[in-house]
Amino acid sequence: MNLSKKLTAEFIGTLWLVLGGCGSAVLAAAFPDVGIGLLGVSLAFGLTVLTMAFAIGHISGCHLNPAVSVGLLVGGRFPARELVPYVVAQVLGGIAGAAILYVIASGQAGFTLSDGFAANGYGEHSPGGYSLIAALVCEVVMTFMFLIIILGATDKRAPAGFAPIAIGLALTLIHLISIPVTNTSVNPARSLAPALFVGDWALDQVWLFWVAPIFGAALAGITYRCLGGDEQA
């Protein structure tokens, strides 16, 4: 597949992830009377990945996440020459999704970025007031498990055709666990996009949501190869 087509697919897919996932948090989580809450936001993030995996998985692999690209690279599933272009496409797609969300959200009277705009944070900016160390451990472990599931579900020896379901449900579960801790990242592009609009504390803390997911993903890539996953790569 032509690289430009892959990058376009990654751009569109990451746009959808941020618009669908962060959009559910910003627009619908606490909407009067029919707010979807933590359960709804968790499901929304999972559905963005599930739907895009079916839509563009055969084009780009549907990474939508720099950490996923790194984990697949370390796991022997992704060529190093495409890593930087993929990350750039994912970051730009995430920013585009956040920009669309901002245009929509700011159309309501009383909207303010000070409410967080679904940005990730720790300490006083953690939804549950969790510390930097708690956030770091959470993001590393959640991304590690996410990549183990991705690598396993897309293994040639796994049942064919079910990977998008497993991956989408995994992301839903991850959000159910970690929204109270960090608002859930496991995706540097998802974290950077709203942080650019919020600025201030969100940009100060976004480093953690690059370092922890990438480390966790790389560790998963190494671990899965040790389990024998590299035999089919």
Per-domain residue ranges of the chain: 3-225
Q: Is the pLDDT of residue 233 over 50?
A: no
The residue among 111 and 51 whose pLDDT is bigger is 51
User: Average pLDDT, stretch 111-117?
Assistant: 87
Distances, alpha carbon 144 to alpha carbons 61, 180, 225, in Å? 19, 19, 13
Distance, in Å, from the CA atom of 59 to the CA atom of 195, rounded to the nearest integer, reads 29
The residue among 116 and 43 whose pLDDT is bigger is 43
Among residues 198, 48, 172, the alpha carbon closest in space to that of 119 is found at 198
Distance, in Å, from the CA atom of 130 to the CA atom of 20, rounded to the nearest integer, reads 25
Among residues of the chain, what percentage have pLDDT more than 90?
Answer: 87
Distance, in Å, from the CA atom of 169 to the CA atom of 183, rounded to the nearest integer, reads 17
**pLDDT, tens digit, for every residue of 14-69?**
999 999 999 999 998 875 666 788 999 999 999 999 999 999 999 999 999 999 99
Q: Is the pLDDT of residue 232 over 70?
A: no
- pTM of the model as a whole: 0.93
Q: Is the pLDDT of residue 115 over 90?
A: no
- Its CATH architecture, for the domain 3-225, is Up-down Bundle (1.20)
Q: Taking CA 105 as the corner, what is the angle to CA 8 and CA 198, rounded to the nearest 5 degrees?
A: 80
> What secondary structure letter does DSSP report for 122?
-
pLDDT of residue 160: 86
User: Average pLDDT, stretch 92-112?
Assistant: 94
Q: Is the pLDDT of residue 121 over 80?
A: yes
> Which ranges of the chain would DSSP assign to H, the alpha helix?
3-17, 23, 37-60, 66-74, 83-105, 132-153, 163-182, 188-198, 200-205, 208-226
Distance, in Å, from the CA atom of 31 to the CA atom of 105, rounded to the nearest integer, reads 12
Radius of gyration of the chain (CA): 17
